[in-house]
């Protein structure tokens, strides 16, 4: 799934999973926001704004194409990441690539 998501979004082919105890430094552009995720409140984010997640969070790439996109009046966000489960999602304030 990482390969398909990477090809569709241009964000790379792989994700990194870190486990254990210690500290991690993560770079983002424009500051980072923490969004809580619960089974009752999944989070949907633009793949370019996604930075990381913590906890038991599952992700799924979904399309958001509708009739407005077909006639050129859509928002331009054809793909979204749906994150569900228990944990925290970190998104960057700007979609500019580092």
What pLDDT, on the 0 to 100 scale, is given for residue 40? 95
Successive 10-residue mean pLDDT values, the chain, 98 residues? 48 67 83 93 87 88 63 60 92 70
How far CA 40 is from CA of 17, 23, 26, 46, 53, in Å, comes to 25, 30, 28, 20, 17
pTM, full prediction: 0.67
Element (H, E) at 85: strand 79-92
Q: Where are the domains of the chain?
A: 23-92
What pLDDT, on the 0 to 100 scale, is given for residue 80? 82
């Amino acid at each position: 799934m990482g390969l398909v998501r990477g090809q569709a979004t241009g964000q790379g082919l792989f994700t990194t999973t870190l486990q254990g105890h210690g500290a991690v430094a993560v770079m983002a552009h424009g500051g980072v926001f923490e969004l809580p995720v619960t089974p009752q409140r999944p989070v949907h984010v633009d793949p370019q704004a996604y930075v990381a997640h913590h906890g038991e969070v599952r992700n799924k790439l979904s399309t958001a194409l509708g009739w407005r996109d077909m006639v050129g009046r859509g928002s331009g966000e054809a793909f979204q990441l749906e994150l569900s489960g228990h944990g925290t999602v970190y998104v960057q304030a700007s979609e500019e690539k580092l």
